[in-house]
Amino acid sequence: MKTKITELLGIEYPIIQGGMAWVAEYHLAAAVANAGGLGLIGAASAPPEVVRDQIRKAKELTDKPFGVNIMLLNPNADEVAKIVVEEGIKVVTTGAGNPAKYMDMWKAAGVKVIPVVASVGLAKLMERAGADAIVAEGMESGGHIGSTTTMALVPQVVDAVSIPVIAAGGIADGRGIAAAMMLGAEGVQIGTRFVVAKESIVHPAYKEKVVKAKDIDSEVTGMSTGHPVRQIRNKMTREYLKLEKEGASFEQLEYLTLGSLRKAVIDGDVVNGTLMAGQIAGLVKKEQTCQEMIEEMMGQAEALLNR
């Protein structure tokens, strides 16, 4: 399937993998790249030299293009922004903030910049700042979210900018991809389904929680701190929401979640860990290779779009 996004990025299918903290490491990024999508290494809060190492390891596993997602709340974001240039990365996506201050450096190095946004306002700002495309991410997504749904956000962003738009949030099969295209998107970003990919290093207990999740099993914590995060309900979310209701301080809440994503992804602690996943987890039923997932989704999408 050729779209403005496959052309821009030199990939076979208009699917980009979410830059998920801890989850999007080099095995997953390389597997998605090898399957014809855009794989991403999620720099998240990793130390800069770990990100460099991840990039080098991904290069050993694939000759296809892959990118790096930079989480802008990371205090090391400045350093990571430079490392992607030094390592010759050609695509960067960003999350949880405004990447304008890195734009000149990235554009000068020929990096394609694709900010992830949750609002029309930031999408317009990013286009003016020189972004090559935009990911419009709805509140169905896992992780840090805005407040507008994908269905409402995508067409409004499409109308507001001239650069290609990639839809994200609530997409995990060919129906979602076809629907996103109907809203005017030129591609999709998929996170939750790739959490359970065979090549994903996520602990089997976390994968099982995603596979078993139903439509109503996610919860949004952190509304009171200004950093809402969607994750699967467990003891951690119950405690967090109780504390929030009682008016707990930012520090108390931060303390509760310190290292909690690592606990879930690496240790498989599904009780106290943060199980980030989108509302579409209810649709994700089995572990497959990235190639199986991508071929299945594209087959479904093409059949729907051509009928």
Enumerate binding residues for ligand TUI (CB under 6 A). 21, 44, 71, 73, 95-98, 116-118, 122, 137, 143-146, 227, 229
The SS3 of residue 255 is helix
Q: Is 59 or 233 the residue whose CB approaches ligand TUI more closely?
A: 233
Burial 182-199 (b: 16+ CB within 10 A, else e): ebbbbbbbbbbbbbbbeb
- CA–CA separation, 50 vs 41, rounded Å? 11
In whole angstroms, the minimum distance from the beta carbon of 286 to ligand TUI comes to 24
273 contacts 264 by C-beta, under 8 angstroms:
yes
Return the sign of the alpha-carbon dihedral for residues 287, 172, 291, 307: positive
150 contacts 167 by C-beta, under 8 angstroms:
yes
Residue in 83, 95, 125, 102 with CA at minimum distance from that of residue 16: 95
84 contacts 105 by C-beta, under 8 angstroms:
no
In whole angstroms, the minimum distance from the beta carbon of 117 to ligand TUI comes to 6
- Residue number with the smallest Cβ distance to ligand TUI: 143
Q: Is 14 or 143 the residue whose CB approaches ligand TUI more closely?
A: 143
In whole angstroms, the minimum distance from the beta carbon of 19 to ligand TUI comes to 8
Q: Is 117 or 248 the residue whose CB approaches ligand TUI more closely?
A: 117
Q: Is 37 or 222 the residue whose CB approaches ligand TUI more closely?
A: 222
In whole angstroms, the minimum distance from the beta carbon of 97 to ligand TUI comes to 4
In whole angstroms, the minimum distance from the beta carbon of 246 to ligand TUI comes to 20
Q: Is 144 or 203 the residue whose CB approaches ligand TUI more closely?
A: 144
